[in-house]
Amino acid sequence: FYSPALQGSDIQLLNVDSVQILKGPQGTLFGRNTNGGAIQVNTAEPNQKTRFIGEAGYGSYDAFRMQAYGNLALDEGTSLDMAVSYATGDGYTTNIANGDDKIGKYRNISIRTALKVDLTDRFSVLARYAHSDLDDPTNLFQVPYVMNGKVASQLAGQPGAIVTTKSKQVSADEDIYYRFKSDSYQFKAAYDFDDFSVTSYTQWRKDRQYHARYSFDYTNLPGLAIDIPDYNNTFTQELLLTSKAGPRLQYTIGAFYFNADQSFPGVALASGNNPFAFSSASGVRNKSIAGYADLTYDFGGGFFLTGGLRYTRDTVNDAYYTVGAARTTTTLPQLKTSRLTPRLVARYEFTPDTNIYASYSRGYKAAIYNVGGLVNDVIKPEELDAFEVGIKHAAGGLRANIA
C-alpha cells in the first residue's frame, strides 16, 4: 500500500516479516516518484497460530518504550491480530536560551489490527486498521548553517542573541512542538487460480499534521516563528495478476489508481512579539492511473531475460494558494503529464550460486505545481535512465555483490 505522506513512514517495526530496500529507479513495477528506489515493508498477516509477544525498555533521558503483539485464531480459517506501541521520554535536546532540557519531551502511540478470513482454500480477504498519534518535536529541532564562517541567521548578530550550531542543542524563544495523527484502512482480497493469482489492494488513509511550530531565526530573540498544518487524504486501488512458479514464463501484470488531496489550510507566522496570525494557505489534488506488465522468460542453460513496461498518466487538479490578510486566492489550471517507463534485464547463471546481469530501467517523477511557494511555477517532470552491470554470488556464509 503506497504511503505518499512523509509522516506516514514513521512506523514502528514490530511484527514485520521483512524490509526490502530496492535501489532506483523502480518506475516500472512501483510507478511514479520512485527514481531513488523504494522501501518495501512487509507486515505479517494474522494466522492460525495463537501467540503473544511483549517487550518493554527504559533508557536514558527518562525514555520508556513498550510494544506488544498478539495473534488469535478465532475459528478455522479466521484469525485476528493486534500490535500496540507506546513510547515516551524527555528527549535529548536542550534549549540553551533558557536551560530547558525537556524541550524534546515526546509521547508516541501506534495501534495496528487486522482480521483475515479464508473463505475457501483459494479465496481469502484481509481487513486492516492502523492508527498513530505522535506528539514529538524531535524532527523540528534544527540549527543554522555556517557559511563562510558566519552563522546563517539574520538575528545572530543582534545584541543579546544566543545561537548554537551544536547537535542536541537549540536556541528558541517559543515552544517547539509537532502533533500528527494518522488513520489508515486497508483491504486485501486474493484468489488463487491454478496457474496464477489475482490480488486486490484497496486503501484509504487520513494523515493530519496539526501543528509543526518552530523558530525560523534560530535564536532566543523574538524574530520569526512558523506553524504549518498539513492535511492529506489518500485513496489507492491496485489490481495484481501474478503467475505461479514453475513455467518458463513468469509474469506480473497490474493496474493502479491513486487519488490524493493535500492542503496547508492555514500557515501562521509570528514576528517579533506579535501573536501568530494567518499568512497563507494552499492545496492541490493529485490523480494518477497506470497499467504495467513485467515478464521474465527462462531460455534454459542459465539465461533469463526480463522485460517490463508501465504507462502512467498524472493530473493535478484544484491547485490554489491564498495569501495575505485579504486572503486573496489564486487558482491554477489542470496540469497533465504521462510517461512510459521501461525495464530490461539480461541475467546469466554460471551456477545456482553465481550470476551476472546487465539492466536498463527508467524512472519518472510527476510534474507538480509549486503552490507551497505561492507562485505559478510548474515543476517539470523528471526522468532518470539507469544502466547497470554486475555480478552476484551467495554460497554458504559468503555473500558478495559487485555492480
Query: Residue 319's pLDDT band (boundaries 50, 70, 90)?
Result: very high
Three cell numbers written together for 300: 534454459
Please determine, for residue 7, whether its predicted confidence score (pLDDT) is greater than 70. no
Query: Residue 12's pLDDT band (boundaries 50, 70, 90)?
Result: low
- 9 CA to centre of own chain: 4
Q: What is the pLDDT of residue 290?
A: 97
Computed over every residue of the chain, the mean pLDDT equals 92
Over residues 54-91, the pLDDT tens digits come to: 999 999 999 999 999 999 999 999 999 999 999 999 99
Over residues 339-373, the pLDDT tens digits come to: 999 999 999 999 999 999 999 999 999 999 988 87
Please determine, for residue 308, whether its predicted confidence score (pLDDT) is greater than 80. yes
Please determine, for residue 8, whether its predicted confidence score (pLDDT) is greater than 70. no
Among 133, 136, 135, smallest CA distance to 183 is for 133
Please determine, for residue 173, whether its predicted confidence score (pLDDT) is greater than 90. no
CA 69 – CA 48 distance, rounded (Å): 15
Q: Which three-class secondary structure state does DSSP give residue 52? A: strand
Residue pair 56/66 in contact (Cβ under 8 Å)? The answer is yes
CA 172 – CA 155 distance, rounded (Å): 12
pTM: 0.90
Q: What is the pLDDT of residue 89?
A: 97
Q: How far is the CA of 172 from the CAs of 61, 141, 220, 307, in angstroms? A: 21, 10, 5, 55
CA 56 – CA 26 distance, rounded (Å): 38
